[in-house]
Amino acid sequence: MTMALTADFDPEQPVIAAIRTGDRHAFAELVRRHSRWVRAVVFGVLGDTDRVDDVVQQVWALAWDRIGELKDVERWRPWLYRLARNAAVDAGRDETRRRRFHRTLAEMPPTISRPTAPGEELIARERRQILWDAIRGLPALYREPFVLRHLEGWNYQQIADLLQMPVDSIETRLVRARRLLREALAGKI
Amino acid sequence: MARMSADIERLIVRKLDGELSADEQLALDRAVLRDPEARRMLEDYQQIDALAAQILDERLSGAAATANGELRIAQDGAERPIKSQSARRLPAATGNPQSRYSRWWWLLPAAAAAALFVPLMLRTTTPTALQPAVVIAPQPVVDEPVPRALQPMPVSSPVRRAASVSDQAIDQDVYYVVGDDGRIYMIEHERQQDFTRERGGARVLPAGGL
């Protein structure tokens, strides 16, 4: 979905205003239009899809509950971004704690080597899995703009507006994300 | 990485992201013609980008999940009430039913450990170590007259608590919406309302409203 983040008139503002009066249909409309990038932000921070559904769910519930706390309606997007990011960071912290706890209880299970069978489909699947693992392995600060760029197709300015960062920083992060992916995939795909 | 290569890399990334100006495009074309490493980098990044876009779309947007047909996507986007809390999470259908059971492998050893551990704890605990249980007596309800003009008061007000004629009603609204990623999002909203009952038994709202 393409959005004009920097346009003078934000078509979502009346929607946000309606939500603040308790209009559920308006809220449903907001979810419909923006769940993809919220999802991208949550994945960008968490780096794994196991908990994305739960966290995104939590973000929308929080958004509904706390919409009254939004002081400046024009700034609803950074506000929603912060909600999503904080929820993902909290979830990531819990996950790290849980993993640390489980690691003390038991050894990590041995890695099961996947059989290598001929066939283009299998090779293609293998390549996708390698790239997916590499994306997940990116540091969050590179993964976040990378996912927004590739999932949403946003340009540098749109990403910069959302992440509240200079455009140059976004560009640098996207360059580094690709460099890291290329290094991680060297000779593999 | 050499300075020249870093500049070319930046141009390649800008090209792939659709941010390249005409001058930059010219510079990149020259570099790619001249330098085989630049060409390789462009090809690699193109491949990574194309595959990444596909994978992210597959993994992060995908089709809407339904819980065994319990819920259907509202085509018109209208809200539908949720009949049961079991519909709160809508997991995607998993291919391997065994994986559901393998998640609970730890239950049996945990139960065995508990069966050993609890009697051991009961034996080692001396009777003197036991403390008498603290019994919290229920507060008597004093039926005091309600003031004629009901004034909004803080909930923690002792007067309000002593009157004990207040009642609370919690309305829970649960509904779902379908996002642009095709997934269903559940929204729960709890509204707590304070009612004060008059002597006659009818419910009236406090002066401050809801």
Which residue, chain included where needed, has tokens 């609970």? B104
Cβ partners under 8 Å of residue A13, min gap 6: A73, A74, A76
Say yes or no for a CB contact (<8 Å) between A178 and B79: no
Q: Render pLDDT for B77-134 as a digit per residue (tens, 0 to 9).
A: 334 333 333 333 333 333 344 444 455 667 777 887 877 777 666 665 544 444 444 4
Chain A and chain B share a number of CB contacts under 8 A equal to 118
Distance from CA of A151 to the nearest CA of B (A): 6
Say yes or no for a CB contact (<8 Å) between B79 and A34: no
Whole-structure pTM value: 0.58
Per-residue pLDDT of chain A (189 residues; tens, 9 = 90+): 445 454 467 888 899 999 999 999 999 999 999 999 999 999 999 988 888 989 999 999 999 999 998 888 888 999 999 999 999 999 887 766 666 555 544 444 444 445 555 677 888 888 889 999 999 999 999 999 999 999 989 999 999 999 999 999 999 999 999 999 999 988 776
Say yes or no for a CB contact (<8 Å) between B187 and A178: no
**B190: closest chain A residue by CA:** A65
Determine the Cα–Cα distance for residues A82 and A89; give it in Å rounded to an integer: 10
Residue A7 burial (10 A CB sphere; 0-12, 13-18, 19+): exposed
Which of B37, B18, B40, B54 shows the shortest CA–CA distance to A131?
Answer: B54
Which of A96, A98, A85, A78 shows the shortest CA–CA distance to A45?
Answer: A85
B41's tokens:
């980098």
Which of A152, A130, A145 shows the shortest CA–CA distance to A175?
Answer: A145
ipTM tops the 0.90 cut: no
Sequence letter at residue B69:
G
Cβ partners under 8 Å of residue B100, min gap 6: B94
Other Cβ atoms closer than 10 A to B158: 9
Distance from CA of A72 to the nearest CA of B (A): 23
The alpha-carbon radius of gyration of chain B (Å, integer) is: 33
DSSP B81: B
Say yes or no for a CB contact (<8 Å) between B53 and A61: no
Determine the Cα–Cα distance for residues A184 and A140; give it in Å rounded to an integer: 16
* Residues of B whose CB is below 8 A from A26: none
Determine the Cα–Cα distance for residues B187 and B202; give it in Å rounded to an integer: 32
* pLDDT tier, B167 (very low <50, low <70, confident <90, very high otherwise): low
Distance from CA of A61 to the nearest CA of B (A): 5
